[in-house]
Every structure is written in C-alpha cells, then in structure tokens.
Amino acid sequence: MEKIKCLIIDDEPVALSLLEKYVLQTPFLELSGKCSNAFEVLSHMDKTGVPDLLFLDIQMPELNGIQLSKTLPSSVKVIFTTAFDHFALEGYKVNALDYLLKPFDYTEFLNAANKAREWFELVSHRESPGGNSQDYFFIKTEYKQVKLLFDDLLYIEGLKDYVKIYTVNAAKPVLSLISMKKLEEELPSDKFMRIHRSYIIALNRIDIVERGQVVIGDQRITIADPYKNRFDDFLKSRSLS
C-alpha cells in the first residue's frame, strides 16, 4: 500500500509542530501540508487535492473541526485532536477514525495512525482485483476499530442510528453508529441479505425457514414483504426440491 497522505490542522503552533514531528517519524504517513484553521484547509485542498487523512483539532476559531469534518468528501478520514474530552461524543457521531486527547505522546499518536492504516488497507483490498475475497471487515465501536470475520456473523439488527451486530462467540452484540443502508452496501451480497427494514442476516447461518420467518439459533426474524421476492429467489437457488 502507498503512504497515507495526511494533512495536519491546529491553531496552536506548538501543537502543530508536534504533529508534524510525529507524522514525519511514522514510515507509512506522508505529510501533504499543515494548516492553522479550517479555511486554510479548504484552500489547500483546492490547490493540491484531497488528502487521505486529517489530524484535526476541534477547537478552532470561526469554523471548528467538527463543522469542517462535515464538509469533507467521504473518502477523507479524520482523527480528531483536542484538549477537551467532552467533544468525544461529537467526534463519534461524525464517524471519526479515532480521537486523541491532548497532551498525547507518540505511542498514542501511533496507535491512532495504525487504525487509519488498517482502514485504508481494507479499502485498498476491496478495490483491488479480487478484493471481495477478504473474509473480514473492521467496524467502529467505542472509539476503536474491531475486526469481525464474515463467517462469525449471525445477523444485524438496526436501531435508528445504530446497529447491533450479533456474532457466534460474543455474549453481547457489537454496537456501532452506522446505518443499515451503509452496511447493506458494504457487506458481500453472496453472504448477507436484508430481509427486513431492521434486519440483515448471514445466509449461511439460516437454520430453518418457516411461516414467513427465518430462524437463526433461537432468533426468529420475519421476512418483510418488500424483501420476499429476493429471498425466495435465493431459497429456490439453494433448494433441492
């Protein structure tokens, strides 16, 4: 994988210098520029193109980091930096890769940068020829990226802005702030199917189909009308009679 092109943004010169130092000593990062406010970021991207990753301070004059992040292309990932931990929930809501609380040392910086590397490696693998052959993905939960194997998934339940991902061995589901639509688009269609507005199931985990319901372990999930035709087609393709 190529180096991750990153832009660092902080209105404090000392903090900006420290970020620059950390980026330059990290082999898989490439510094594409440094800015002291949101407007410099927009100008920089107009001139040099969109970076892969932003190390972005939250508290800045006029347009703060949270506000700026909402204007960025979806391809740009963000690691927030701030001295105030009460911004953590806001950072989570805009789906930041990580959140660094000042003052942070290089070890903490590197841990966050490694999360970014894992993310971009996963995206690169998906987009490469034969990339759909990967057997896992990473999902953000509680400010960390958790690796989940496709074969371990049972079903996914949608709860407004969140999802619960149920797996084979975990006592509790993984809770993540992501939409069902986004998950449906990202999961391989030969392994997973949406059968209800609130449920995506792992096809290889179906135990029984009866009376318009799918049974997975001790869970019964209704096959909703808008999804019946597609599910029936799948069932016919796997049925011997």
Domain match, 87 and 183 both: no
What DSSP character marks residue 204? G
Phi, psi torsion values for 211, nearest 5 degrees: 50, 45
Structure-block tokens of residue 239: 């049925």
Residues 181-218: tens digit of each pLDDT = 888 888 888 889 999 999 999 999 999 999 899 999 99
Domain match, 12 and 117 both: yes
Task: Please give the share of the chain, as a percent, with pLDDT higher than 70.
Answer: 90
Stretch 69-95: mean pLDDT, rounded?
Answer: 71
Least confident of 67-81, 130-144, 209-223: 130-144
Show the domain range for 73: 4-127
Q: Which helix (H) or strand (E) holds 108?
A: helix 106-127
Structure-block tokens of residue 166: 């149920």
Residues 19-46: tens digit of each pLDDT = 999 999 999 999 999 999 989 998 888 8
Domain match, 100 and 11 both: yes
Short-list 143, 2, 174, 13, CA closest to 79: 143
Report the domain count for the chain.
2
Domain match, 156 and 123 both: no
Domain match, 164 and 210 both: yes
Domain match, 100 and 156 both: no
